[in-house]
Amino acid sequence: MKQILTRLVENETLSREETRQIMLDITQEKYTDVQITAFLTSLLMRGIQVDELLGLRDGLKESGKTLDFSDFNTIDIVGTGGDNKNTFNISTCSGFVVAAAGYPVAKHGNYASTSTSGASNVLEALGVQFTDNEDQLRRNLATCGFTYLHAPLFAKGMKFVAPVRKAMQIPTCFNLLGPLVNPSNPKNQLLGVATLNQMRLYSNVNQQLGINYGIVNSMDGYDEISLTGTFKIKTPGMEQIFTPKDLGLPVIRPQEIYGGESVEEARDIFVSILKNESNESRKTVVLVNAAFAIKVMEPEMEMGDCLARAREALESGKAYQTLRRYIEQNS
């Protein structure tokens, strides 16, 4: 580790293979917490490079459990988190709408770190019991079009850096790894990021991984399409800034998409949206995020048609039926 730290101090870039091996060594407890802290701090101060992030991803996946959903053309809908906006569970809600529209969703998520309720919190509050059983997860995809992969059951290497990350109390490169380590390796992803720098980084990473992606950022700092102002989307074939008006949609006030003060409140908001009983602002935000996920899957489809497909999936009751079926199979 001394040699690695010296190179980082001298502003050298590590190779993908080097950071992969470092990650594996961390999972084998070859380094002290002080050494890991120094490593993370050095990367943080300099800024992590694409190959370095890819190597850490490779090592984390290699030390964890993987799944084979290759016969399903799945999409993951996920945000990086950390935007400190405490919105309701937009990406998870959107996932059920997208599944109801006919596109298999393999969502990867965890408990909340900066908001009231993450994807795992709200699903657990609905009675879902998480599993890493591949047969059960495949059954979910086959019958619901949706499955959920609770990160701690798969990315087992994360536990070796958890004490250091908690002690540091600031975001590190491990905060960037969540969207990259879906154990089922979906071919498609809609990723929400909190900054344009993250958009550039993930765009380069996804190109290296060969993933069909859409990356979105609300330019007032939300890691999803919030409709609170302008937002940017980047795909392999497009990079464009939108306003809500461009899509015929209203501007939303931040308080209208607030996620509540408790897990129970977040759960109730979540269910009300999928039952098509929520306020119009929450519903519209879910529809636009679902529509852009559909756009990732159907690049030639016009955005108006993507929105119409998402709206039909929600307003027809299909999205709520998908949620109910998923809960029944996993509780």
**Cβ(189)–Cβ(204) below 8 Å:** no
Q: What is the mean pLDDT of the chain?
A: 92
Sign of CA dihedral 106, 108, 114, 120: positive
Confidence label for 96 from pLDDT (cuts 50, 70 and 90)? very high
Confidence label for 243 from pLDDT (cuts 50, 70 and 90)? very high
pLDDT for the residue numbered 127: 97
**Cβ(324)–Cβ(143) below 8 Å:** no
pLDDT for the residue numbered 80: 80
Q: Is the per-residue pLDDT at 114 higher than 60?
A: no
Q: Is the per-residue pLDDT at 115 higher than 70?
A: no
Poorest-pLDDT segment among 60-74, 156-170, 275-289 = 156-170
DSSP 160: G
pLDDT for the residue numbered 25: 94
Q: Is the per-residue pLDDT at 116 higher than 80?
A: no
CATH class of 75-151+182-330: alpha beta
For the chain, residues classed under CATH 3.40.1030.10 are 75-151+182-330
CATH topology of domain 2-62: 1.20.970
Tell me the pairing of strands 188-192 and 212-218.
parallel
Instruction: Identify which has the larger pLDDT, 182 or 1.
Output: 182
Confidence label for 216 from pLDDT (cuts 50, 70 and 90)? very high
pLDDT for the residue numbered 175: 80
Confidence label for 107 from pLDDT (cuts 50, 70 and 90)? very high
pLDDT for the residue numbered 166: 78
d(CA 216, CA 292): 9
Q: Is the per-residue pLDDT at 170 higher than 90?
A: no
Which residues are CB-neighbours of 299 under 8 A, at least 6 positions away? 235, 237
Amino acid at 276: N
Poorest-pLDDT segment among 3-7, 198-202, 220-224 = 220-224
**Cβ(158)–Cβ(176) below 8 Å:** no
Q: What is the mean pLDDT of residues 89-98?
A: 95
pLDDT for the residue numbered 192: 93
pLDDT for the residue numbered 95: 97
How far, CA to CA in Å, does 130 sit from each of 62, 149, 162, 319, 330? 21, 8, 21, 20, 7
Neighbour tally for 308: CB within 10 Å: 15
3-state secondary structure of 212: strand
Distance of CA 101 to the CA centre of its chain: 20
Confidence label for 257 from pLDDT (cuts 50, 70 and 90)? confident
For the chain, residues classed under CATH 1.20.970.10 are 2-62
pLDDT for the residue numbered 293: 98
pLDDT for the residue numbered 313: 98
* 75 φ/ψ sector (left φ>0, alpha ψ -120 to 50, else beta): beta
Q: What is the mean pLDDT of residues 231-257?
A: 94
Q: Is the per-residue pLDDT at 83 higher than 70?
A: no
